[in-house]
Structure 1
Amino acid sequence: MPDYGHDLLFGSFITPSNAAPQDVVALARESEAAGLDLVTFQDHPYQSRYLDTWTLLSYVAARTERVRLSGNVINLPLRPPAVLARAAASLDLLSGGRFELGLGAGGFWDAIEAMGGRRLTPGQAVDALGEAIDVIRGVWDAGNRERLRVDGAYYQVDGAKRGPAPAHDIGIWLGAYKPRMLRLTGSKADGWLPSLPYVRSLDELADANAIIDEAAADAGRAPAAVRRLLNIGGRFGPSGDGLLSGPPEQWAEQLAALTLEYGFSAYILMGDDPAVLQVYGREVAPAVRELVAAERAATGTPGTGR
């Protein structure tokens, strides 16, 4: 698969545990201090052991200065898209353009239904997510003076005022694995955000990229319009044969290969160990950037920015 040329991002994926709330915030600040670009939190509103992710994102935005923030991924079935759009734009404005919108179609339907959400089949959930993206982008289009109308099967907006516009073009990143979600990612989203532990092989990543690229082309978009992000896990230690199991320089070589051969450009490390975040941000990230920059310079690969 090609290198799509995006700038590289490195981030953390922190558990939003409510047992020690300030420890969660401290890990976000540690991520920023380590030089990481992005801090993310999972969003399970039905999980009583977790802080509410939206409240946490807002609080962390006020306690940091530089890092971008995102849900990983926001639970759409329990967050109405028109309200979510205004909340996202507001947080982006308040944080100086540091918010990105990771979105998921939902999956734990018993828990979602118990919290008052509507149970959907997998196919219905994909269709609902597609409608939600239209609603969200419509709300953000504050320069359009026409009232927003979306007459969907799952979401209806009938004459809503648009705005506010976010401070920057917020990326909509979808957590997706199956073909219909991957095609939606290619046709409407700005990023694809899977988790490496849920992927059986690198060939599966390549196949998914091909589906996204084809859907993007069918929608009149360049494949590079979709950033490829990846949640990762691993351990630092002696050299080994496994993926992301070894010293920082081995991690750097393997992540650089994922960029150059599979098109990924953002790596979000799952875990709550501040020492690991320091090694990742201070040693791995710069080394990956150096390796990728050298290869891009040698091959003349153009950059695409975001």
Structure 2
Amino acid sequence: MGDYGRDIEFGYFLVPNAADPLLATARLADRLGIDLIGVQDHPYQRRYVDTWALMPMILAATERVRVFPDVANLPLRQPAVLAKTAASLDLLSGGRFELGLGAGAFWDAIEAYGGPRRTPGEARRALAEAIEVIRRIWGAERGLRFEGEHYRLAGAQPGPRPAHPIGIWLGAGGPKTLELTGRAADGWVPSSSWAPPERLPGLNAVIDEAARAAGREPADIRRVYNVNGTITDGPGGGFLNGPAEQWADELTDLAVAYGMDTFVLWAEGDQETQLRRFAEEVVPEVRARVAAERAA
């Protein structure tokens, strides 16, 4: 485990608070050169706009930034329709959509919204089935049939095709969902709040072993890290809580020593200030340092 050699990218975690200037913030991220905007998907949160209404608005309001659900709430999103929506957004935006996918959490809230309550095993199996359903809907075969424990296709028709090969990135933490990531997904989306750096080697190792067992290269799997913290003017106060120089040091280390290739800022404090500082002070420095480390 170490540097997988993938291109380094940077994103912004846009919390979908209805009272916030969501589209203005998305346009700012686009102008600042941020690569990705991730939006969490919790439909039962009363203060949030719906993620699948916000994402097309972001794509329509921006020119180059890519958008993904960070991560989609599978128990409340039927996978065949999810696949159709994802392909449509990708096609309409010129290839600017990726699909983060989660097995579900907060089961009381999901059940309150009419969704199923699943055990960890059921949630994992449903996630595996959903990946298969989604890939089939994105394919060219007609009259699709699939009979699973949780999902089925009964002569379904695919289409439209996405504008580019959409990545399926799993928000996974347990060993069996990590194995599923290595075996069947295109990316992994952990958060620093529950997967701090000291846990990353062990978690990455599970993904890598499963990838190799499936005949895949570990480097084929993107590692998208939601990084929670604050860029400050004063001295450092712990991991990802300090000046831009500290952030550059820590993110560079996460790339070249821990294998993470995409960093999505989940900022605390004034969002515009944090986003600007990240894009203008941290991102170019990390790009330069990672390039120098790799050249050496």
Q: Work out whether 1:156 is the aligned partner of 2:156.
A: no
Alignment of 1:65-84 (within 5 A): 65-84=63-82
Which residue of structure 1 lines up, in the alignment, with residue 40 of structure 2?
42
Structure 1 position 203, deviation (Å)? 2.8
- Structure scoring higher RCO (CA < 8 A, sep ≥ 6) equals 1
Distance in 1, matches of 2:127 and 2:231, equals: 37
Which residue of structure 2 lines up, in the alignment, with residue 225 of structure 1?
220
Whether the 8 Å contact between 1:212 and 1:223 is mirrored in structure 2 is: yes
Question: Is 161-170 or 244-253 further displaced after alignment?
Answer: 244-253
Distance in 1, matches of 2:117 and 2:146, equals: 21
Which residue of structure 1 lines up, in the alignment, with residue 2 of structure 2?
2
Q: Work out whether 1:267 is the aligned partner of 2:279.
A: no
Question: Is 169-178 or 263-272 further displaced after alignment?
Answer: 263-272
Give every structure 1 segment of 4 or more consecutive aligned residues whose post-TM-superposition deviation is greater than 4 Å.
none
Aligned partner letter, 2:182 = G
Whether the 8 Å contact between 1:29 and 1:63 is mirrored in structure 2 is: yes
Structure 1 position 241, deviation (Å)? 5.9
Distance in 2, matches of 1:180 and 1:47, equals: 28
Identity %: 55
Aligned partner letter, 1:9 = E
Q: TM-score, normalised by structure 2?
A: 0.96
Distance in 2, matches of 1:87 and 1:240, equals: 43
Cα deviations by residue, 1:27-60 (Å, 9 ceiling, x for unpaired) = 1111112221111111011112110100100111
Whether the 8 Å contact between 2:56 and 2:89 is mirrored in structure 1 is: yes
Structure 1 position 191, deviation (Å)? 0.6
Which residue of structure 2 lines up, in the alignment, with residue 170 of structure 1?
166
Which residue of structure 2 lines up, in the alignment, with residue 303 of structure 1?
none
Secondary structure of the residue aligned to 2:49 is coil
Distance in 2, matches of 1:279 and 1:241, equals: 17
Whether the 8 Å contact between 1:194 and 1:230 is mirrored in structure 2 is: yes
Out of 137, 140, 146, which is 2:138 matched to? 140
Distance in 1, matches of 2:153 and 2:125, equals: 16
Secondary structure of the residue aligned to 2:105 is coil
Structure 1 position 164, deviation (Å)? 1.2
Whether the 8 Å contact between 2:231 and 2:278 is mirrored in structure 1 is: no
Structure 1 position 170, deviation (Å)? 0.5
Aligned partner letter, 1:252 = A
Aligned partner letter, 2:47 = R
Aligned partner letter, 1:215 = A
Distance in 2, matches of 1:250 and 1:202, equals: 15
Secondary structure of the residue aligned to 1:210 is helix
Q: 1:241 to 1:109 in 2, by over 3 A?
A: closer
In structure 2, list runs of 5 or more residues that go unmatched: none
Cα deviations by residue, 1:270-302 (Å, 9 ceiling, x for unpaired) = 13611110110111111111111111122xxxx
Q: TM-score, normalised by structure 1?
A: 0.93
Whether the 8 Å contact between 1:186 and 1:213 is mirrored in structure 2 is: yes
Secondary structure of the residue aligned to 1:233 is strand
In structure 1, list runs of 5 or more residues that go unmatched: 299-306
Which residue of structure 2 lines up, in the alignment, with residue 245 of structure 1?
241
Secondary structure of the residue aligned to 2:165 is coil
Out of 102, 105, 110, which is 2:103 matched to? 105
Secondary structure of the residue aligned to 1:196 is coil
Instruction: Say what the alpha-carbon RMSD is for the aligned residues.
Output: 1.2
Distance in 2, matches of 1:38 and 1:26, equals: 15
